[in-house]
């Protein structure tokens, strides 16, 4: 019998098509707090936490008068409000892929840079919580992707070696995190995730239907 395998999902841009909403609420947050941001840099922060983006931005803008926690919470609350209004939908084929991999007997994990409350809302809203043996929010960790900690922790929780893990990602930061953790990566080319260098992945797909349990 071969070694046990683990399939790890990113969330934003992989399970839910959320990046356009994230960008909109980040713009709202910039305007509310009077922060200047060069939007050409958005793609650089895809796959990373809001805390990292706004932490950099407060330093660059010299805004020591602002509390980072308050700025980040402002953004998260507006994102959650948009989610609750039904503005965020699953990626086509993503929920079906979760069902198919689970039915094939593969343990599944979720490793997202999103705020923990957002992660919990997604798991419940789309009725997918029961499929995941582990779910970790990067907002609970000291460092975000491309740091590999979130992927290493996912594997350790389930007692599976990194070399036996496959990760599904849509950003360069996420791919780098998974590779640094010693895992294989499938990159999903999401047009809403900005210009991303996906060449570090082992495979690139344009549809969730192209991922099959028997190929892993």
Question: Best-predicted range by mean pLDDT among 31-45, 165-179, 191-205?
Answer: 165-179
Q: What are the backbone dihedrals phi and psi of residue 136, each rounded to the nearest 5 degrees, phi first?
A: -125, 135
Q: Reply yes or no on whether the pLDDT at 2 is more than 70.
A: no
pLDDT digits (tens, 9 = 90+) for 127-162: 999 999 999 999 889 888 999 999 999 999 999 999
Q: What is the mean pLDDT of residues 69-78?
A: 93
Q: Which pLDDT does position 1 carry in this prediction?
A: 43
DSSP symbols for 16-79: B--HHHHHHHHHHHHHHHT----GGGHHHHTTS-HHHHHHHHHHHTT-TTS-HHHHHHHHHHHH
Which CATH architecture best describes the domain 6-18+89-215? 3-Layer(aba) Sandwich (3.40)
Q: pLDDT band for position 196 (50/70/90)?
A: confident
Coil vs helix vs strand at 143: coil
Buried b (16+ CB within 10 A) or exposed e, 13-41: bbbbbbbebbbebbeebbeebebebeeee
Coil vs helix vs strand at 204: strand
Top pLDDT among 168 and 192 is at: 168
Question: Which stretch of DSSP H or E encloses residue 175?
Answer: helix 172-180
Beta carbons of 213 and 41 less than 8 angstroms apart:
no
Token pair in block for residue 146: 């491309």
- Rounded to the nearest integer, the mean pLDDT of the chain is 92
Token pair in block for residue 148: 């590999």
Query: CA 65 to CA 182: how far, in whole Å?
Result: 41
Q: 137 has which bridge partners?
A: 112
Query: CA 72 to CA 195: how far, in whole Å?
Result: 24
C-alpha of 148 from chain center: 13
Q: Reply yes or no on whether the pLDDT at 202 is more than 50.
A: yes
Token pair in block for residue 197: 């260098």
Using alpha carbons only, give the angle 162, 167, 173 rounded to the nearest 5 degrees: 100
Q: Reply yes or no on whether the pLDDT at 46 is more than 80.
A: no
Q: Reply yes or no on whether the pLDDT at 17 is more than 60.
A: yes
Going from N- to C-terminal start, the domains of the chain cover 6-18+89-215, 19-84
The pTM (predicted TM-score) of the whole model is 0.86
């Amino acid at each position: 019998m071969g070694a046990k395998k683990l399939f790890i999902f990113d969330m934003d841009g992989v399970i839910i098509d959320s990046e356009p909403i994230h960008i909109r609420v980040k713009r709202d947050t910039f305007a509310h707090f009077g922060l200047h941001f060069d939007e050409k840099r958005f793609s650089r922060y895809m796959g990373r936490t809001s805390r990292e983006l706004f932490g950099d931005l407060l330093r660059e803008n010299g805004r020591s008068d602002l509390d980072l926690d308050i700025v980040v919470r402002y953004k998260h609350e507006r994102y959650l409000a948009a989610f609750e209004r039904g503005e965020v939908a699953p990626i086509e084929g993503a929920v079906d892929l979760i069902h198919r991999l689970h039915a094939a007997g593969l343990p599944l994990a979720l490793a997202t840079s999103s705020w923990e409350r957002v992660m919990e809302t997604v798991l419940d809203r789309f009725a997918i919580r029961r499929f995941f043996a582990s779910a970790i929010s990067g907002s609970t960790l000291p460092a975000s992707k491309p740091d590999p900690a979130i992927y290493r922790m996912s594997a350790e929780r389930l007692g599976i070696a990194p070399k036996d893990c496959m990760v599904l990602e849509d950003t360069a930061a996420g791919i780098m995190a998974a590779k640094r953790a010693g895992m294989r990566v499938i990159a999903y080319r999401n047009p809403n995730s900005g210009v991303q260098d996906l060449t570090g992945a082992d495979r690139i797909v344009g549809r969730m239907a192209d991922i099959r349990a028997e190929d892993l």
